[in-house]
Structure 1
Amino acid sequence: MTNLERQLSQYAAYHLDRNNIMTHFVGIPLIVFSILCLTARAGVEISGFPMTLAMLLMVLSSIYYLTLDKLFGALMLLLLVLAYPFAVKIAALSMWSWLGASIGIFVVGWVFQFVGHYFEKKKPAFVDDLIGLAIGPLFVLAEFVFLLGFRKPLHQRILKEAESKRAAMDMKVQTAS
């Protein structure tokens, strides 16, 4: 099993309900975008080029995603690069407008997340493993690619392992109560 399969199946074990996955298609992009908005305002100028914290986060997360999977990493980088100019526009607003918009988007994203976990009847993955915060965006991207009918063998392996992990989690909860 590859590291990608391990990470996505661990995350997927908390996300087997279709309603939960659908809410994540909205919630996670909103959260990621809000983080870009919040961090696009902080930065320094290096040789006349503005370098923001958002850019640094984009580079570091993309490197991580590329180490897990070249295709998913490249797609994630492309999506982040496409979202960045919009985040910069929000970051250029007045202090209170920028904070209000960024925090508002963040909160709405998390509302979608928690509604999804209500359907799932499971806590969010990051509660047990903080890497879930980084894997969430990749999970949503992978689920979209799978929904389009691509990479079916990978999807089947991840789903099989996720169901096995979920059964083990459920068994652990039953024995604890």
Structure 2
Amino acid sequence: MQTLQQQLVSYAKYHRDRRNIATHFFGIPLIVFAVAWLLYIPIIQINTTIFTPALVTAVILSIYYLRLDFRLGALMSLLLALVYTGAKAVYLNWPLDHTWYYLGGVAVFFVGWVVQFVGHYYEGKKPAFVDDIMGLVTGPLFVVVEVLFLLGLCKSLEQTIIAQAGPYR
């Protein structure tokens, strides 16, 4: 398994244009939420816990992020819990037939990817996941780290990424 820095540097090489990064602040959260939405398929309920593929995915991703870096993993776990809670709320409060529920999730997923591809048009590079499927897992972490950089946090990590992936444009 690559280290946190290796994964972020590899992903950052596809994301140096500030406009592309800005589109990721919208596109990736939409995609992550849409995936949780689409995977919110109740399988079994034990006490008050409803087990869904979305829950299993969130737990697996949380464990992965925690193994990469405990503090960032804890933040990612919290964010995934919020996404899962949002998907659950949408599911439980959906006023229409569940066919429309899933079509809504597909629509959000589609919009998220359109935003992503607009950003990659600005970048002039293909998305990172085309060369490494792990880019789909690194993308949400990259967005969170970029927000932390904007807040003036994780300066050492930011400098490492810039030194290895190149400056922002």
Q: Answer whether TM exceeds 0.5 for this pair.
A: yes
Q: Does residue 152 of the first structure (1) align with residue 155 of the second (2)?
A: yes
C-alpha separation in 1, matches of 2:78 and 2:48: 24
Aligned residues between the structures? 163
C-alpha separation in 2, matches of 1:22 and 1:140: 9
Q: How far off its partner does 1:50 sit?
A: 1.6
Q: How far off its partner does 1:48 sit?
A: 5.8
Matches within 5 A, 1:64-79: 64-79=64-79
Range 24-33 or range 47-56, more displaced:
47-56
Could you list the runs of 4 or more consecutive aligned residues of structure 1 that deviate by over 2 angstroms after TM superposition? 45-49, 89-94
Q: List gaps (5 residues or longer) in structure 1.
A: 165-177
Instruction: Tell me the secondary structure at the aligned position of residue 166 of structure 2.
Output: helix
Residues 41 and 88, structure 1, Cα contact 8 Å, conserved in 2: no
Q: How far off its partner does 1:90 sit?
A: 2.3
Matches within 5 A, 1:37-116: 37-46=37-46, 49-92=49-92, 93=94, 94-116=97-119
Match of 1:133 in 2: 136
Q: List gaps (5 residues or longer) in structure 2.
A: none
Give the aligned residue type for 1:15: H
Residues 66 and 74, structure 2, Cα contact 8 Å, conserved in 1: yes
Q: How far off its partner does 1:97 sit?
A: 2.1
Residues 125 and 132, structure 1, Cα contact 8 Å, conserved in 2: yes
Identity over the aligned pairs, expressed in percent?
49
Q: Does residue 118 of the first structure (1) align with residue 117 of the second (2)?
A: no
Instruction: Tell me the secondary structure at the aligned position of residue 133 of structure 2.
Output: coil
Say what the alpha-carbon RMSD is for the aligned residues.
1.6
C-alpha separation in 1, matches of 2:139 and 2:77: 15
Residues 42 and 50, structure 2, Cα contact 8 Å, conserved in 1: no
Give the aligned residue type for 1:16: R
Residues 8 and 139, structure 1, Cα contact 8 Å, conserved in 2: yes
**Computing the radius of gyration over CA atoms, which structure comes out larger, 1 or 2?**
1
Q: How far off its partner does 1:47 sit?
A: 5.3
Q: How far off its partner does 1:32 sit?
A: 0.2
Instruction: Tell me the secondary structure at the aligned position of residue 130 of structure 1.
Output: coil
